[in-house]
């Protein structure tokens, strides 16, 4: 806020050395030779797992009878019916994302 700036407080999140610092888990992942990407908050369309959830929810809706006992059996069935072909189709979850 303006009052904090007037008192000389500067948020660390805007400082260059803070911005350059990587989270520890990113450092560990990259040290092992992997790449670490962060998805933007509140952009589920960029997350490939959403295709998996979508397939499971579609199965659930198709076979649901609206009762809780049926729902209890359908949840594991719905999740187990999702295979790699459902989400590894080569199509990106968003036009700006390239899957290789």
Q: What is the mean pLDDT of residues 9-24?
A: 77
Say what the pLDDT of residue 28 is. Answer: 93
| Residue 70's pLDDT band (cuts 50, 70, 90) | very high
pLDDT per residue over 17-60, tens digit each?
A: 777 888 898 999 899 998 888 888 888 777 878 888 888 999 99
pLDDT per residue over 88-97, tens digit each?
A: 554 555 555 5
Q: What is the mean pLDDT of residues 61-74?
A: 97
Higher pLDDT, 77 or 50: 77
Q: Taking 50 as the threshold, does the pLDDT of residue 5 lie above it?
A: yes
Q: Which residues are CB-neighbours of 63 under 8 A, at least 6 positions away? A: 70, 74, 77, 78
Tokens standing for residue 58: 């579609």
**Where are the chain's structural domains?**
1-36, 39-100
Is the separation of the CB atoms in 23 and 57 below 8 Å? no
* Chain centre to alpha carbon of residue 66: 29
Higher pLDDT, 17 or 63: 63
- Would residue 90 be called left, alpha or beta, if left means φ above 0 and alpha means ψ between -120 and 50 degrees? left
Is the separation of the CB atoms in 57 and 12 below 8 Å? no
Taken as a whole, the chain contains a residue count of 100
């Amino acid at each position: 806020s303006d009052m904090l700036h007037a008192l000389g407080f500067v948020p660390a999140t805007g400082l260059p050395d803070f911005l350059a610092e990587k989270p520890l888990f990113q450092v560990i992942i990259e040290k092992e030779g992997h790449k670490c990407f962060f998805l933007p908050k509140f952009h589920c369309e960029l997350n490939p797992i959403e295709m998996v959830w979508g397939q499971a929810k579609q199965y659930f809706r198709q076979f649901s009878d609206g009762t809780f006992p049926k729902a209890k059996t359908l949840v594991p069935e719905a999740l187990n019916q999702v295979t790699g072909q459902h989400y590894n189709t080569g199509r990106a979850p968003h036009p700006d994302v390239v899957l290789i």
